Chains A and B, each alone.
Chain A
Amino acid sequence: MSKAESKPTRVISNRTTVRQRVVEIWRYRELLVGLVRKELKVKYKNSALGFLWSMLNPALYLAVFYVVFQLVLKNGIPTFAIYLLSGLLVWNLFSTGLAGATGSVVGNAAIVKKVSFPREILALASVGASLVHFFLQACVLLLALVGFRYTPSPTFMLLVPVALVALLLLAAALGIMLAAVNVYARDTQHLLELVLLAWFWMTPVVYQYRLVADRLQENAWLYRLNPITPIVLTFQRAIYNQTEPIGNDGNRLAILPADAGLTWYLFQLLAVAGASLVLLALALKLFGRVEGNFAEEL
């Protein structure tokens, strides 16, 4: 045969290295794109509004939080819409991606039992689909920016891609791990919903970071151990672009760290990205160990 020299060799064994897994996943990258497309297509196939749903979600959240926090609780954050959306988009990407990934292997049992491919792809496809939603929701944010004639910070915008990569790494690592766990303990999915709810309120999305950080004073780093916090802060710093604006009541309102520069943010983002990479390697290792049993367990 003419193509004998370029034939890939596949090793099937329960001892595969993380490198082998990454190579396998890379080889199936087209499937990843195909699965993301499938997920989006199937989701919107029978709905009249289609992709508009994606954009409606943050708009509705905005309406609810606006009523509760601005009108009822009077938190006093100026241009609350921009502030909320810049954090909420990050959170939505993380939470829908992670929740989707967790259920992905069990949800695709029919394929997992019959066809061989790196199953991490299923979890990655869920994260990928939520990334697409993220960009759609970003359109809502863009509309808000235009509507309010609001200018983000050009310098801090440079950090947004870094933050996004760190977030995707974290979501992928946790997603792959939980997808495997969910095969053995199916209620992981439901447990995760509760954890995500608590996690959301532990992240400064609807309230301001300084509300907590100032109270903790020198222990504020504890608050930033939540890996989503640095990412949300970066988005807020870049897009909302105000650290201590004049609040709705006329007094100065502490929202973001006042004297934190580019490096302060960058350092934290790199820490999150680094930790996520380690976590991802662990997740691939764990996944590789148990993947061979998926077909039996499902």
Chain B
Amino acid sequence: MAAAVQVDDVAKRFRLYKEKYTSLKERVIHLGKVPYEEFWALRDIDLTIEQGETVGLLGHNGSGKSTLLKCIAGILQPTSGRIEVVGRLAALLELGAGFHPELTGRENVFLNASILGMPKKEIAKRFDEIVAFAELEKFIDNQVKHYSSGMYVRLGFAVAVNMDPDVLLVDEVLAVGDENFQRKCLDRVKRFQREGRTIVFVTHSADLIRQVCDRAAVLDHGVLVALGTPGEAVRAYREHLLQTDRAHEVEQLAPALDEDTAETDASVEVDDGLSAQERKRNFKLRITDVRMEHPGAGERPYLLPGEPLAIRVAYDATERLEDIVFGIAIHDIEGRLVFGSNTDFLGVPVGDVDGRGVVTFETDATPLLDGTYLVTIGVHSQDEGTVYDWQEQRHQFEVMNPGRGVGQVHLGLNVSVTRERGEDAELLR
């Protein structure tokens, strides 16, 4: 297989001007002293995309994924390095870019397609297909300025996907439009895959990556941090997301800790990054250790869907405490509560404790698909009036899904197919 897109040591620098001077007059006045900050949107990017491959680019906002796509599309020029694209390239960056409101739909199809680099003869050949795809047969000779925004987008997409590209670049356009339209887009993308075309996809939807990509690359602050199977890439993406969150948390926490002395003044609300429950703890009992145990713990830091998981909580009570409840809560990375319960609800009262011990929460099969899950452990009295210790989302485990299933929950599904003449035939009656 030959490379369809070859990205060699590409870097892109943006200059962020504090004030932008766009006229000759201003440029002369401010000659040589235009203040700006440099910002590297991409750094040392090396990436080879084979022909017929579908590669996803994952990254949070500002990670440089769209910049990379625009560089591949040739809209932006890399500051250094080079990119080689073999074959005709079509980019679904913005649908209908270049439509002129005064021209009719027909005229715009021809103009738009030739802007995208399609020969006129071929446009004429595909014209009917384009119009049919856009469902605009009745309006194709009306001026585009009279189109609704839906018609506009449909026509733009119809032109772009009928370009017969060898390499297709897709930005998050699939996120726009109604469900029907999205399905249509996705169907087209899948057809392109079957036809052996190369597709580069930008998204931050892990599900979409899993659904359509052969490989995925993860970008973080303009650097390519991971490249591998969709599963691996999604994991790396989540990890980086978590790290950035943590770094952010530390930054916020630091000044609060410096002002620890001010905390004595009760009227001042100090944001120390602690949850309400954590502020209430009296530490008569301390959580000394929390461990996640699963069968593969030795060789990999993550669980597979359906594997057993044990969460062990070691504690140390300084005095005898009565009617203690151990609680557990699991949140996903976006902060949604996945599961929460406590020893009381689970029907296993802990009763009285004194000294050290371990409480274990166990499941035979973790019913989760992939993601990073944050674990909260709380120890409190029956009525939650007294909090002994509480660790709000201080622990985590990860699930990585090697399969192609998408979503949040792992259902251990079995599939069977019944045909009319089969044993279960009476079911069909």
Binding-face segment, B111-119, B265-273, B321-329: B111-119
Known: A13-B82, A110-B97. A117 touches B102 (CB 8 A): no
Tell me the residues in window 92-128 of chain B with beta carbons closer than 8 Å to chain A beta carbons: 93-94, 97-98, 100, 102-103, 107, 110-111, 114-117, 119-120
* CB of B341 to closest CB in A, whole Å: 51
Binding-face segment, B18-26, B345-353, B387-395: B18-26
- Given the complex of chains A and B, what is the CA–CA distance between A111 and B120 in angstroms? 19
Assess whether B362 is interfacial by the CB under 8 Å rule.
no
Tell me the residues in window 50-95 of chain B with beta carbons closer than 8 Å to chain A beta carbons: 51, 70-89, 91, 93-94
When distances are taken between beta carbons in the complex, the residues of chain B under 8 Å from A10 are 74, 84-85, 89
Assess whether A50 is interfacial by the CB under 8 Å rule.
no
Assess whether A274 is interfacial by the CB under 8 Å rule.
no
Interface size class of B (residues with CB under 8 A): 35 or more
When C-beta atoms are compared, the residue in chain B nearest to A297 turns out to be: B22
Tell me the residues in window 1-58 of chain B with beta carbons closer than 8 Å to chain A beta carbons: 14, 22-25, 27, 51
- Docked-complex contact B91 and A116, CB < 8 angstroms: yes
Assess whether B405 is interfacial by the CB under 8 Å rule.
no
Tell me the residues in window 186-219 of chain A with beta carbons closer than 8 Å to chain B beta carbons: 186-188, 191
Assess whether A293 is interfacial by the CB under 8 Å rule.
yes
Assess whether B220 is interfacial by the CB under 8 Å rule.
no
Known: A9-B85, A12-B85. A116 touches B73 (CB 8 A): yes
Assess whether B166 is interfacial by the CB under 8 Å rule.
yes
Known: A8-B87, A114-B97. A41 touches B23 (CB 8 A): no
- Docked-complex contact B78 and A13, CB < 8 angstroms: yes
* CB of A210 to closest CB in B, whole Å: 37
- Given the complex of chains A and B, what is the CA–CA distance between A9 and B111 in angstroms? 23
When distances are taken between beta carbons in the complex, the residues of chain B under 8 Å from A31 are 114-115, 117
Known: A45-B102, A116-B73, A292-B77. A9 touches B86 (CB 8 A): yes
Assess whether A42 is interfacial by the CB under 8 Å rule.
yes
Known: A9-B86, A12-B83, A110-B97. A115 touches B102 (CB 8 A): no
Q: How many residues of A contact B (CB 8 A)?
A: 40
* CB of B224 to closest CB in A, whole Å: 17
Assess whether B196 is interfacial by the CB under 8 Å rule.
yes
When distances are taken between beta carbons in the complex, the residues of chain B under 8 Å from A186 are 22-24
When C-beta atoms are compared, the residue in chain A nearest to B24 turns out to be: A185
Known: A12-B77, A115-B91. A187 touches B24 (CB 8 A): yes
- Docked-complex contact B86 and A295, CB < 8 angstroms: no
- Given the complex of chains A and B, what is the CA–CA distance between A188 and B196 in angstroms? 48
Assess whether A184 is interfacial by the CB under 8 Å rule.
yes
Assess whether A38 is interfacial by the CB under 8 Å rule.
yes
Known: A28-B117, A38-B111, A185-B27. A111 touches B22 (CB 8 A): no
Assess whether A120 is interfacial by the CB under 8 Å rule.
no
When C-beta atoms are compared, the residue in chain A nearest to B80 turns out to be: A14
- Docked-complex contact A14 and B78, CB < 8 angstroms: yes
- Docked-complex contact B24 and A191, CB < 8 angstroms: yes
- Docked-complex contact B94 and A13, CB < 8 angstroms: no
- Given the complex of chains A and B, what is the CA–CA distance between A115 and B87 in angstroms? 17
When C-beta atoms are compared, the residue in chain A nearest to B20 turns out to be: A297
When distances are taken between beta carbons in the complex, the residues of chain B under 8 Å from A113 are 75, 97
Assess whether A259 is interfacial by the CB under 8 Å rule.
no
10 contacts between A and B (CB under 8 A): A7-B88, A12-B77, A28-B117, A30-B114, A31-B115, A115-B115, A115-B116, A186-B22, A292-B77, A297-B22
Contact residues of B with A, CB < 8 Å? 14, 22-25, 27, 51, 70-89, 91, 93-94, 97-98, 100, 102-103, 107, 110-111, 114-117, 119-120, 166, 196
Known: A12-B78, A110-B97. 5 other contacts (CB 8 A): A34-B114, A38-B100, A115-B98, A115-B116, A116-B75
Contact residues of A with B, CB < 8 Å? 1, 7-15, 27-28, 30-31, 34-35, 38, 41-42, 45-46, 110-111, 113-117, 184-188, 191, 291-293, 295-297
Shortest 9 CB-CB contacts between residues of A and residues of B: A292-B77, A114-B97, A116-B74, A13-B82, A185-B24, A111-B98, A7-B87, A12-B83, A187-B23
